[in-house]
Amino acid sequence: MQAIETALIVPVPEAEDVVGVHRARFDQAARWGVPAHVTVLYPFVPPEAVTDELLDAVRETVAGMPRFEIEFAQVRWFGEQVVWLAPSPDQPFRALTAALWARFPDYPPYRGEFADVVPHLTVGHDVPPADLTAAADAVAARLPLRAAPREVLLMVGAPEPDAWRTVARFALGDA
């Protein structure tokens, strides 16, 4: 399997116990090997563009952002197709996305498809709404969930089972 794309994500390991079983069934990214996370920039650079200079630039940008704590207390929806958890506050994620996009302006989040990039942790998508509703109800019963992100991951992969892997970790700055 050859990696065909990259992503910058904030892993949320604290969420795995709550969302893992649902993501395994309803989120293809989980089947590809991507952990529970909030996306910062996707798609990012082509895999062949990952150089030491690029890694240094990402590291510098991420280190300039303070560590933070968040809570996931609400299940939300994008239409009837995507169920997700809303981080509160969401500003640290917005700031990370803005800083990295400013540093790498050729790589807008989600290819520039959305005017407002809403930070979210996907639970499931693109399956029958009844399945997503059941997952949403099960997850909601276990909220709130607290997390303390400490890093951004650069992952590379392809849309295939277990194809994504972490190639670099970038520590957030001191709080």
Task: Give the residue among 138, 170, 142, 174 at the shortest CA–CA distance from 59.
Answer: 170
Q: Quick: pLDDT tens for 113-153.
A: 988 999 999 999 999 999 999 999 999 999 999 999 999 99
Lowest mean pLDDT among 92-96, 110-114, 135-139, 161-165: 110-114
Strands of 61-171, DSSP E: 70-78, 82-88, 121-125, 145-147, 151-157, 165-171
Domain tally, the chain:
1
More confident residue, 114 or 41: 41
For 147, half-sphere exposure in the C-beta direction (CA atoms, 13 angstrom radius) is 30
Indicate if the pLDDT at residue 92 is higher than 70: yes
User: What CATH number has the domain bearing residue 14?
Assistant: 3.90.1140.10
Quote the domain boundaries for residue 82: 5-171
Indicate if the pLDDT at residue 112 is higher than 80: yes
User: How confident is the prediction for the chain on average, in pLDDT?
Assistant: 96
Indicate if the pLDDT at residue 8 is higher than 90: yes
